[in-house]
Structure 1
Amino acid sequence: MEKILSVKNLTKKFKRVVVNNISFDVEKGNVYGLLGPNGSGKSTTFGMLLSTINATSGDWFWFGEKGTSTQTLKKIGAIIEQPNFYPYLSAEKNLEIVAEIKNVPTSRIDEVLEVVGLLERKKDAFKTYSLGMKQRLAIASAMLNSPQVLILDEPTNGLDPEGIIQIREIIAEIAKTGTTIIIASHLLDEIEKICSHVIVLKDGAALYSGSVEAMTNSKGFFELNAENPENLIKNLSELNLFSSIKVKDHLIIAQISEEISAKELNQLLVKKDIYLSHLIKKKESLETQFLELVKK
């Protein structure tokens, strides 16, 4: 698949190392999540890739071209800071100003407002918009130049659950058009729902870079209970199907090492005269995998 962006050993030092020798690739048409807690180097990484912050060392290539040229920037739409529009002007007027700055036709305005669900409010002043609407207008402004890549820094920050869902749906619709999207976020649940790939950062270092599916592809675990938990644990151990068996919150957690369905496990235990009062098979969430990574 075509590489849109390739980052090689990128480092940024201020008084301390903020981004530490990270490398990753972004392939065309995917949605990437740059995931990490506040202060992990996400915004600084975006700043370097957009040439608003000078890198200390390392290289990056947009569309095969080293660095970030003026021509490259024309192919990118980005929201790095809080939306900054004229409060007393309408959404339409604000986008007309953005279109003039970007030197793109105003004919795109209605189209991008439709994408973010603001077409019916285009005549309303920006100051009358909710925080979620302001964020959606910012996405519309970033889409005006029909970018091949859309960069969003914490797009759901501060939004209520409804606003988060709206942004998630908008990103999914934009992704369907083939636009490559890179999102920085500390919200694991959102990354898991939106992104196909993830780069996990901690203290400026990349702990993982790859598909979300590969990161969460453990065989999962069972939550179990029975009238005699000690006997259940003994028999589970004898099956040699689990990498670990422990008790948590009055439930037995059996980490699966050999693939087995809940039905098959239940049948095996019935043969040993063990009847379960609780049986649920679960997969590790991105959150669990993330926490394991940052602990290490």
Structure 2
Amino acid sequence: MEKVLIVKNLTKKFKRVAVNQISFEVQKGNVYGLLGPNGSGKSTTFGMLLSTINPTSGEWYWFGEKGTTPKTLKKIGAIIEQPNFYPYLSAEKNLKIVAKIKGIPYSRIDEVLTLVGLLERKKDAFKTYSLGMKQRLAIASAMINNPQVLILDEPTNGLDPEGIIQIRELIAQIAQKGTTIIVASHLLDEIEKVCSHVIVLKNGNALYCGSVEGMTSSMGYFELKCENNDALINALQTMNLFKKIHIQNEVVIATIENDIAAAELNKKLAQSGIYLSMLQKKKESLESQFLELVKKQ
């Protein structure tokens, strides 16, 4: 698969190390999440990749070309800061200014406003928009040159649940059209819902780079309950199928090491005289995997 971005040992030092020799690759057509708490190096990484911050060391390649050039930037749409438009101008007039700066025909304006669901409000002043609408207009502005890559830095910050859902759906819609997306967020739930790949950052270090599925590739766990949980735990321990067994709120949690179907486990326990009142097989969330990953550092 074609690689639109290759990052090698990218480092930025201010008074402290903000980004520490991170390396990753972005393949065309996927949605990548840059995941980490505030101060983990997400915005600094974007700044270097867009040449607004000079790196201390390391290198990167956009579309096979080293660094970030004016030619490269024409293929990238980015929202790094809060939406910044003229408050008393309409959405249409604000986008005309953007189109003129980027040398894009005005015919693209209605297309991108339709994409973000603002066509009917294009004559309204920017200052009348809700925060979610302002964010969607910013995405329209970033998409006006029909970029191959869209970069979004914390696009759901400050939004209410409805606004978050709208941005999430918009990201999915843009991705379906073949645009590669790199989105930075500190929200695990958002990354898990919209991204195919994730780069986990903590204190400037990349702890994981790969698919979301790969990060959550553990076999999961069972939640079980019966009249005698002590007997249940003893039976589970004899099976050599679980790497960890513990009780949480009167429910036995058995983390799977050697996979087994729920029906087969139920059968084995019944043969041992243990009859379950509860049996659920679950997948570990990205959140639990992230917390486990961070603990190891």
1:73-104 Cα distance to aligned partner (Å, 9 max, x none): 00000000000001111000000001011111
Which residue pairs with 2:139 in the alignment? 139
Which residue pairs with 1:175 in the alignment? 175
Which residue pairs with 1:94 in the alignment? 94
1:219-277 Cα distance to aligned partner (Å, 9 max, x none): 00001111111110000011111111111222111001111121111111111111112
Work out whether 1:148 is the aligned partner of 2:157.
no
1:1-296 → structure 2 map (5 Å cutoff): 1-296=1-296
1:166-191 Cα distance to aligned partner (Å, 9 max, x none): 00111101001111000000111110
CA distance, structure 2, for counterparts of residue 221 and residue 134 of structure 1? 42
CA distance, structure 2, for counterparts of residue 70 and residue 285 of structure 1? 40
CA distance, structure 2, for counterparts of residue 246 and residue 130 of structure 1? 47
Q: Which amino acid aligns with 1:128?
A: T
Q: Which amino acid aligns with 2:64?
A: G
- DSSP-derived class of the 2:238 partner: helix
CA distance, structure 2, for counterparts of residue 83 and residue 189 of structure 1? 23
Q: Which amino acid aligns with 1:160?
A: D
Task: Say which is worse superposed, 88-97 or 239-248, in terms of deviation.
Answer: 239-248
- DSSP-derived class of the 1:201 partner: strand
TM-score calculated relative to the size of structure 2: 0.99
- DSSP-derived class of the 1:55 partner: coil
CA distance, structure 2, for counterparts of residue 9 and residue 33 of structure 1? 19
TM-score calculated relative to the size of structure 1: 0.99
1:44-72 Cα distance to aligned partner (Å, 9 max, x none): 00000000000000000001111000110
Q: Which amino acid aligns with 1:66?
A: K
CA distance, structure 2, for counterparts of residue 229 and residue 177 of structure 1? 51
CA distance, structure 2, for counterparts of residue 248 and residue 7 of structure 1? 42
Deviation of residue 15 (structure 1)?
0.2
- DSSP-derived class of the 1:209 partner: strand
Task: Say which is worse superposed, 97-106 or 147-156, in terms of deviation.
Answer: 97-106
Deviation of residue 36 (structure 1)?
0.3
CA distance, structure 2, for counterparts of residue 86 and residue 76 of structure 1? 23
Q: Which runs of 5+ in 2 are unaligned?
A: none
CA root-mean-square deviation: 0.6
Q: Which runs of 5+ in 1 are unaligned?
A: none
1:189-220 Cα distance to aligned partner (Å, 9 max, x none): 11011000000000000000000011111100
- DSSP-derived class of the 2:277 partner: strand
CA distance, structure 2, for counterparts of residue 171 and residue 271 of structure 1? 50
Number of residue pairs the alignment of both structures matches: 296
Q: Which amino acid aligns with 1:271?
A: Q
Q: Which amino acid aligns with 1:14?
A: F
CA distance, structure 1, for counterparts of residue 211 and residue 162 of structure 2? 27
CA distance, structure 2, for counterparts of residue 67 and residue 109 of structure 1? 30
CA distance, structure 2, for counterparts of residue 180 and residue 202 of structure 1? 24
- DSSP-derived class of the 2:159 partner: coil
CA distance, structure 1, for counterparts of residue 121 and residue 268 of structure 2? 61
Give aligned-pair identity as a percent. 77
Deviation of residue 289 (structure 1)?
0.5
Q: Which amino acid aligns with 1:137?
A: L
Runs of 4+ displaced beyond 3 Å: none
